[in-house]
Structure 1
């Protein structure tokens, strides 16, 4: 797979909600490009792209993967991305490495919540897009309904360049509106087709959409619009040129249609990627920061110095750590040395590989625009910048959503504690969406992720890759505490022993701050009544006491502590004494400042069929939810609400039950709010009971 110029490279991510057929479409494309001799099946676990054992078991994409193919003298790097809510952080990172996106829309379900989220990611990276309406052969498939859903959901102009011939069981081909030709396909998924006359019953519809296409294309160029207004026909080359310019400029979005399973339309999708999405020379440059000057430096394909960005790491039990990166400038060859500007270390490149899912293809040279892999790099991790020589430039890491749920992990065998710790550390290299930490109060090992399924997948990978079993405990709600009023008081620590004693005396005032402000400390000491060397100890004492809270042992936040008076002893005072005195003062004053419990509130988007709307709305209200709005969708209703995290920790199975498996939801953290008094009393009582047991 040799490529001489970035002009002949296309980097594109396939994005959509889960189940729209991304992986199946990539499998079909690999078959068409003769990268495989069969079309793999997601249901049978035989795809090249979903090769992780957990993916095969669950029949979903969990990681973003790369497929590099050749098509008509172009090199295409296709990134197959996850579509399920718990793994969209993978999709966002993958989108940072491409210049275009193919949005897969289901002809059955249209646009779902996850598609809207990944669309926003694509907009964040300013990507040009084309849309492929898939599953035209399935029951209830409707191309034109999907078009309306696209326009309504994204607020864009979908511009069909192909129309379906038939639908559901009768779907047998497509009409090319650029060439004004019809293509009829056989029942076997060979991608072979026969040219035919456009069906007479479709001519009015075809002429209508052909007119819309020509009108949109003509507006991309003054000469074309003049030619169009004068009634002249645009040539095929002119239409393609206008389509390319309009797509890259994001004036409109070309729409194709087909069936991945029947291999209808997939070859034309490849041609559309080449014809209408940008090469690295057109839009794909990346901003680096010079750590010496702080200046932003655009890194372009034509720059001579090699620079690359690592966007994915895999941990393979046999091949070791696999580092996947995108080259943004310069060239890289095997047996060379590269510099990691994040780690300040040099790395040896023994062999370079192109990727086709689980298959590696050796290559000796990379140029700007290519995506490739190196194995067994010692220091490099995800989001690192690689340079051809020592440099001070670093690419910005991708901002990924923060985890929304935590579980406590406990090894089934005490002998496996080190294995668990090591395994989680390795998995954090592979999955930038998980966090691992230890609760200072309970000493529990906490695993945080994007949802319950995400956590369960991590646990399965621990077992699969590192041969260790763990138990998951019910997730703890990260309650917090705060105060509602200002209060003042004294904390005095005096201890006399046979020798030198301990003496610390402080007066503090606690004031509430707005939600999310955190903690502030102010020193208002006058006249040295508390010596300067002890003031940091006072702040530390308050901070540490605040971590244990007052009501139920949860951290206290959103308050200001003011040290305004005190006294000291020239011999007996010490940092420890003032730290203890500050802690005593905090506990006393916080109780007088009307402490309250805070709970995390989640934004939740629920998509339900029409017949289940009432049930789901009633259930959300029962969970103390606030309904923001209800919007009609093609296949039901979109409910936006805010619900306390404590009420929806196990929402997924309940929603499945209420909707017969047809409902889906996504959620993300919104803010903290005060817990209602009657609920707070129960939480506080339970916390005290647990503490007494200890």
Structure 2
């Protein structure tokens, strides 16, 4: 990395995607680097992407393309909310290397976009702010770090906001080593140290350059362009201790076992050997360098550390050839040979993001893992299907539209997309996020990445009749773009429910419905699926007798209703003696009482766990009919309920809460406060505990939000329906009062 000539870095800016409207192109996989930027909200990921685009010549001023728009956060919602809410691709060229920068949201509600970015990338840059405290490298960042470690993804750390008055590079580097490198702290070490200028009136000394620890050279950015010089005598002591620790960290991860012996014997290892060893360790994912970055000053092309970062990406991060592709299978479920990153191999690509453009229509961001994707060819679209989230299974052929490379709001055409690269595909009307694109004569299905389960419900209804006509189509398009969202049409409450990851996720979803699909909706109170049951035995008589001239209606039935154990459902028993109710009308009575039970007898919730016994009745030879006895049965149910105690049953869910050990006590106390029964807890990996409990569903409607606050973003939970249980009388009485008031 540092071994490259400095002058060569400046020479790499002669070709870039901003020149003459060309899109960056990669002819071979080895000329591609796919890098995802990960970090806490506010850490400076988007600013860093813009600084890298400026350093490569992709834009003529920070973050701006030819039409004046931003290359990242160009969505209207992002501009209004001043934060990233979706995955953005910014391709740049550094010499002959195409770098696909994948900017991800830092807010936990959009972790689905982050997971898509991890799927599309081959390496990760963890962006942390030197002006933040340790929370900037908190539990949520550590969870993502562990995800990357589990698949061996190379990682580096970039410390930003060095220009801030309270920034502290050394402290943040120590935090990163402690939080992210607890298994091997010496594997998270800085490659450069910041060089500070003169102290200002406020006591802050600005960072004007970087000291390369391996090369022992100073890279000065104070003029707006990087210049190189030897360290001054007063700067040498800053280098020695940090350099020795860095060398020891590199050697510890080296594949060359003789290096440590040579180093300990006092041999001076040459820069070329150290650099090559460092690059191999980074590419293997065993060593994680820490770099520093700051935006360019006004009028400058090069921000502090941008060239060093570009050298790391192109020299230390792996090519797509070095990364293993996701497993694939045949559509019938049979195994397939592992994919190789070969442009001439069988086509296998994956839709990592779906969006809609008001002029172009649906646009699919695709990562090609094998083969070459070309416009106007027919491909097979296959998807796993997630019926519970509103996504149907896919098994269709579609014609690929134009291929393009995104840059801000612009889409710049490309001739093809080779294995290892990313491109946007227009007008794939059936493809959704997570679907596989393959050759139509050799269809494949790629193993999906893990989607977070949406656990925050929001009930919605159309704002007007005009909105109601467009609601179904708008919701279908919304969930097609976002697989972390689940659409539910609840048959019990008759509500349309969007299940999301958090409140910010809800806000963005409703805003997209309004601005992108022209559907205005109102959020209403979410209702859980309650049940009713008889708390005691009751008898009643249902009498339906009408005579208005001509053919009348006559049906009388007597029933007995008694409660049954939980889970018994509804039983109907015929004990009529002597033909008081003719045999042909007994099914009619059963149909009537079951229909009334489904409608409810107190607050409109289905009745369960009862036995209904038909004991007697009367019929008329002319006026009795199927409809009359159905009505009589329903009347009998209502009469029985009027004279008996009706209990409300609420759904109880079993939850599993995964949290760091430090939060176990707080979580258990919180669950108990929600009328929950803690069933126990068990270790779930180093420093983490799984708490199991049963909690009434009505108490955990906002638990996705509350747990995030309680655990500082480190907690996760799952839920599954267990059963219905009687609701406490005071709460049931309160619901009855609310129902009476609403009438």
1:690 aligns with 739
Distance 2:514 2:556 in 1: 55
Q: Relative to 1, partners in 2 of residues 1:462 and 1:206: Cα closer, same or farther, differing over 3 Å? A: same
Distance 2:554 2:445 in 1: 57
1:211 aligns with 244
Matched, 1:151 2:187: no
TM-score by length of 1: 0.76
Q: Relative to 1, partners in 2 of residues 1:504 and 1:300: Cα closer, same or farther, differing over 3 Å? A: farther
Which of 72, 75, 81 in structure 2 is aligned with 1:52?
75
Task: State the structure with more CA Rg.
Answer: 2
1:19 aligns with 42
Q: Which moved more, 1:69-78 or 1:283-292?
A: 283-292
Deviations 1:481-524 (A, max 9, x none): 899xxx99999999999999999999997468xxxxxxx99x9x
1:288 aligns with 328
How far did residue 566 of structure 1 move? 13
Which of 115, 127, 134 in structure 1 is aligned with 2:141?
115
Runs of 5+ unmatched residues, structure 1:
513-519, 524-539, 607-612, 630-639
Q: Relative to 1, partners in 2 of residues 1:316 and 1:205: Cα closer, same or farther, differing over 3 Å? A: same
Equivalent pair of 1:462/1:469 in contact (CA under 8 Å): yes
Distance 1:546 1:130 in 2: 62
Q: Relative to 1, partners in 2 of residues 1:655 and 1:428: Cα closer, same or farther, differing over 3 Å? A: closer
2:386 aligns with none
How far did residue 550 of structure 1 move? 10
Deviations 1:61-87 (A, max 9, x none): 011011111113211111000111111
Distance 1:544 1:145 in 2: 69
TM-score by length of 2: 0.71
Equivalent pair of 2:655/2:692 in contact (CA under 8 Å): no
Distance 1:414 1:592 in 2: 37
Q: Which moved more, 1:27-36 or 1:595-604?
A: 595-604
Matched, 1:230 2:289: no
2:194 aligns with 164
How far did residue 13 of structure 1 move? 0.4
Q: Which moved more, 1:544-553 or 1:95-104?
A: 544-553
How far did residue 54 of structure 1 move? 0.6
How far did residue 370 of structure 1 move? 0.5
2:345 aligns with 304
Matched, 1:181 2:217: yes
How far did residue 597 of structure 1 move? 5.6
Matched, 1:463 2:514: yes
2:362 aligns with 321
- SS of 1:458's equivalent? helix
Equivalent pair of 1:316/1:322 in contact (CA under 8 Å): yes
Deviations 1:589-625 (A, max 9, x none): xx9999666378796989xxxxxx9xx99x9799769
1:516 aligns with none
- SS of 1:298's equivalent? coil
Distance 1:322 1:294 in 2: 31
Q: Relative to 1, partners in 2 of residues 1:253 and 1:490: Cα closer, same or farther, differing over 3 Å? A: farther
Q: Relative to 1, partners in 2 of residues 1:136 and 1:228: Cα closer, same or farther, differing over 3 Å? A: same
- SS of 2:100's equivalent? strand
2:686 aligns with none
Distance 1:38 1:541 in 2: 74
How far did residue 467 of structure 1 move? 2.8
Matched, 1:240 2:275: yes
Runs of 5+ unmatched residues, structure 2:
1-23, 198-203, 298-302, 384-393, 546-552, 572-590, 616-624, 682-690
Which of 21, 25, 28 in structure 2 is aligned with 1:5?
28
Matched, 1:259 2:294: yes
Equivalent pair of 2:129/2:159 in contact (CA under 8 Å): yes
Equivalent pair of 2:69/2:409 in contact (CA under 8 Å): no
Equivalent pair of 1:602/1:667 in contact (CA under 8 Å): no
Matched, 1:140 2:166: yes
Matched, 1:195 2:218: no
The number of residue pairs the alignment matches comes to 629
Distance 1:390 1:210 in 2: 56
Distance 2:337 2:614 in 1: 53
Distance 1:247 1:545 in 2: 68
Matched, 1:437 2:463: no
Matched, 1:336 2:377: yes
Distance 1:52 1:73 in 2: 30
